[in-house]
Amino acid sequence: MKMNEPIGNPIYAPFFVRVSLGIYFVLAGFSKLENIPGFVHEVQGHHILPEHAATLYAILLPYAEMATGSLLVVGIWTTLAAMLSSLMLVSFVYAFGIFPGGSHLFNKDILLLGGSLSLLWSGAGALSIDRFRKTG
C-alpha cells in the first residue's frame, strides 16, 4: 500500500460525506421540532431578521433540514440538496460567526459547509439513487 494513494475506491468518499451530513440534518431538524416556540424565540433573539421573517425562518427551518437531510441520505437530487444545505449552513455561520465563543472553539457549521460544498463538485457517489439513474 502506497501512502499517497487511496486505500479504497474514491467513489465511496462522497457516500460517507453525503450520509453523515444527511443524518446530521435530519437529527437537527427533529431536535428543533420538539420545541418550535422555543426555537422561534431563540431565532428572534438574534435580531438578524425582522420578527415576522425570523418567525417564518424558524418554523420552516426544521422541515427544510429534514427534507434536505433525507435527500442526502438516499442520494437523490444531491446537487439540489447540497445547495440547500450550503445555504442553510452559510446562514448559521452568519448568525453565530466563525468563532462563536463560550465553550466552542470554532463554528462546526464551517466544517459541515466544507462537506456540503464538496458534494457540489463530487456528486452523490456510490450507493445513491442519482448514480443509479445515471449509470443504470
pLDDT tens-digit readout, 72-130: 999 999 999 999 999 999 999 999 888 877 777 888 999 999 999 999 999 999 999 99
Phi-psi region of 101 (alpha: psi -120 to 50; beta: other; left: phi over 0): left
Residue with cell 439513474: 133
At residue 135, the pLDDT reads 86
Domain boundaries, the chain: 12-135
Do 63 and 29 touch, CB atoms closer than 8 A? Answer: yes
Banded pLDDT at 41 (limits 50, 70, 90) = very high
- Mean per-residue pLDDT of the chain: 94
pTM above 0.75, yes or no: yes
